[in-house]
Amino acid sequence: MTAPERTVKNPLTTTGDLGIRDASAVEPPVAVRVEAELSPLAGTGLTFVTGVPDSVFKGLIAALERHDLDVRYLRATREDNAIGLAVGAYLAGERPLVFMESAGVGTALDALTSLAMSYGIPLVVLIAWAGYKARDVTHHNAIGAPLGQIIAALGLPVMTIAERDLDAPVLPATLAEAQARAHEYGGPSVILVVPAELEDGVGS
């Protein structure tokens, strides 16, 4: 007869004799870490996401699909109905983020102005800046080159970050700042994301 195995205690509340945490006990095995991956919404203050994909959001959307699909992440077919879904969610008490590419701003312009701006809905709008400084292909440059001026002409608060900032620990703080600006402004607040291949020292 073998002795029963020792009970494994909660590593977060267990210390050694000298009151020092055993790091190996705190660190969960790799498989457990993967399972314990948090929703991208965790710690951001945001509670709802919808939008239309861009390649810079590949990792973000994959994580949303794993954690929040059809619950806090709803798929949209166009950027305008994404704004519509987000406004509806806001009316139910959520704090929404809408993602899109530069081209989507054209599609979403009426929804942004006659709905989100007119009703004072503090959405955070995350825009992958295809066509940044006209360093891209023709159709992206056509909207990307004037995009900053278009957003400025709308009068929306705007921040510009680099693609790598989407994966950085600073992202929750950036999203919190964008929400604060949206509330201060009383309407949507924009974060422009410069794709890695187009940047020259933007962001952190």
121 binds another protein (CB under 8 A): yes
Question: Which span sits near another protein by CB under 8 A: 18-26, 109-117, 162-170, 189-197?
Answer: 109-117
Quick check: 102 and 127 in contact, CB under 8 A? yes
Report helix, strand or coil for 73.
strand
Gyration radius of the chain's alpha carbons: 21
Per CB under 8 A, does 113 bind another protein?
yes
Place of tokens 């109905």: 81
Q: Which of residues 81-100 bind another protein (CB under 8 A)?
A: 81, 83-95
The C-alpha atoms of residue 124 and residue 180 are separated, in whole angstroms, by: 10
- Per DSSP, the three-state class of 194 is strand
Give, as ranges, the residues between 27 and 66 that touch another protein (CB under 8 A). Answer: 45, 47-48, 50
CB of 151 to another protein, least distance (A): 19
Size of the site for another protein (CB under 8 A): 36
Query: What totals of helices (H) and strands (E) does the chain contain, helices first?
Result: 7, 6
Selected binder of another protein within 54, 80, 101, 165 (CB under 8 A): 80
User: Applying CB under 8 A, which of residues 2, 70, 153, 169 lies at the interface with another protein?
Assistant: 70
Collapsed DSSP state (helix, strand, coil) of residue 61: helix
Q: Does 157 bind another protein (CB under 8 A)?
A: no
Spatial neighbors of 180 by CB under 8 A, at least 6 apart, are none
Exactly one of 11, 63, 75, 133 binds another protein (CB under 8 A); that residue is 75
Which tokens go with 160?
A: 């510009």
177 binds another protein (CB under 8 A): no
Residue numbers at the binding site for another protein (CB under 8 A): 45, 47-48, 50, 70, 74-78, 80-81, 83-95, 110-111, 113-115, 118-121, 183, 186
